[in-house]
Amino acid sequence: MKTIIYYFTGTGNSLAAAKSICTHLGDGELVSIASLATTQGEIHAGADRVGIVCPVYDLGLPSIVAEFVQRLDVSQTAYCFGVLTMGGFGASALHQLDDLVFAHSKRHLDAAFTVRMVGNFVPLYDPATGEKRDKLLSDADKRLSEIAAMIDKGLIVRPDTAFLSAILKRIMYDGFIRKLHDADKNFIADEKCTSCGTCAAVCPVKNIDMVEEKPVWKHHCELCCACIHFCPVAAIQYGPKTKKRGRYKNPSVTIADMKKQRGE
């Protein structure tokens, strides 16, 4: 049975989740959603099983993923699943994914899961460190093994009820999407910048150019936070609070992975 897993990631959690499921299933191929964003038209998966793996953003889907699902035809796919990684709260995003799949392909997801990993939205909070981080990631590993086993058996798993997160999503998500692409106006590279170019190299949507050896953000940002977390000297700030906060990358993610996500 052939499986394709479409993924999007900013700091590697969702890529680690996609890789883990792929390894457990043994027959999977990973395809980057970001690498397809510059193409146009319908996407036919051509696999028996199709998965979509990405983070939760503001209780919903990353904009790039929502747009992708509206082009993805899974009407003839035998089994279709979604796995969303998150910092703590956001089952409403699973319902959004299910609704978009239904709107385009006239079928529901067969299985839908959230996985708690390390929250990476550093403009709002300090990402977990030390034992807390290790525990979150080892619990996520166990959950991903269980999820892969359920997928392998072809179980039907409806999205968790999301009463509170659905209410909050209704309040927050549209505003988040409206301001999303320009949100990069809040990024600056401070005096620590060494002009290494890593931020430009890892941005999944090529939203950063190096101009006179400094990053310049081009206002088609997805707010994935890859640039801020991958900067090797923590020179990128978003608002007044990030200077004092830590940075996070999933331990397994590499710069090569991020370039591959861009189709390089």
Ligand X SMILES: Cc1cc2nc3c(=O)[nH]c(=O)nc-3n(C[C@H](O)[C@H](O)[C@H](O)COP(=O)(O)O)c2cc1C
Binding site for ligand X (CB under 6 A): 9-14, 55-59, 85-90, 117-121, 223-225, 250
Taking the complex as a whole, the smallest distance from the CB of residue 190 to ligand X amounts, in Å, to 20
CA distance 126 to 152: 36
In angstroms, rounded to a whole number, what is the distance separating the alpha carbons of residues 226 and 207? 11
Q: Which does 28 bind (CB under 5 to 8 A by kind): ligand SF4, ligand X, none?
A: none
Instruction: Compare residues 32 and 85 and give the one whose CB is closer to ligand X.
Output: 85
Is 222 in contact with 64 (CB distance < 8 Å)?
yes
Q: How far apart are CA 144 and CA 216, in angstroms?
A: 37
Q: Which is nearer to ligand X, 80 or 180 (CB)?
A: 180
**In a 10 Å sphere around its CB, with 0-12 CB exposed, 13-18 middle and 19+ buried, how is residue 123 labelled?**
middle
Beta bridge partners of 79: 49
Pairing state of beta strands 3-7 and 28-32?
parallel
Identify which range of 32-40, 123-131, 159-167, 202-210 contacts ligand SF4 by CB under 6 A: 202-210
Residues ≥6 apart with Cβ < 8 Å to 200: 206, 208, 209, 210, 215, 227
Work out whether 127 is an interface residue with ligand SF4 (CB under 6 A). Answer: no
Distance CA 95, CA 183 (A): 25
Q: Which of 198, 237, 250, 261 forms a contact with ligand SF4 (CB under 6 A)?
A: 198
52 binds ligand SF4, rule: CB under 6 A: no
* Whole-number Å distance between alpha carbons of 75 and 52: 15
Q: Quick one: 4 or 231, whose CB is closer to ligand SF4? A: 231
Among residue numbers 162 through 191, which ones bind ligand SF4 (CB under 6 A)? 184, 189
Which of ligand X, ligand SF4, none does residue 58 bind to, with CB < 5 to 8 Å depending on kind? ligand X
Judged by beta carbon distances under 5 to 8 A according to partner kind, the member of ligand X, ligand SF4, none in contact with residue 221 is ligand SF4
Q: Which is nearer to ligand X, 9 or 198 (CB)?
A: 9
Q: Which SS3 state, helix, strand or coil, does residue 208 take?
A: strand
Output the smallest distance, CB 107 to ligand X, in A. Answer: 26
In the complex, minimum distance from the CB of residue 252 to ligand SF4, in angstroms, rounded to a whole number? 18
Q: Using the rule CB under 6 A, is 236 a contact of ligand SF4?
A: yes
d(CA 169, CA 183): 19
Q: Which residues bind to ligand SF4, rule: CB under 6 A?
A: 10, 184, 189, 193-199, 203-205, 207-208, 215, 217, 221-227, 231, 233, 235-236
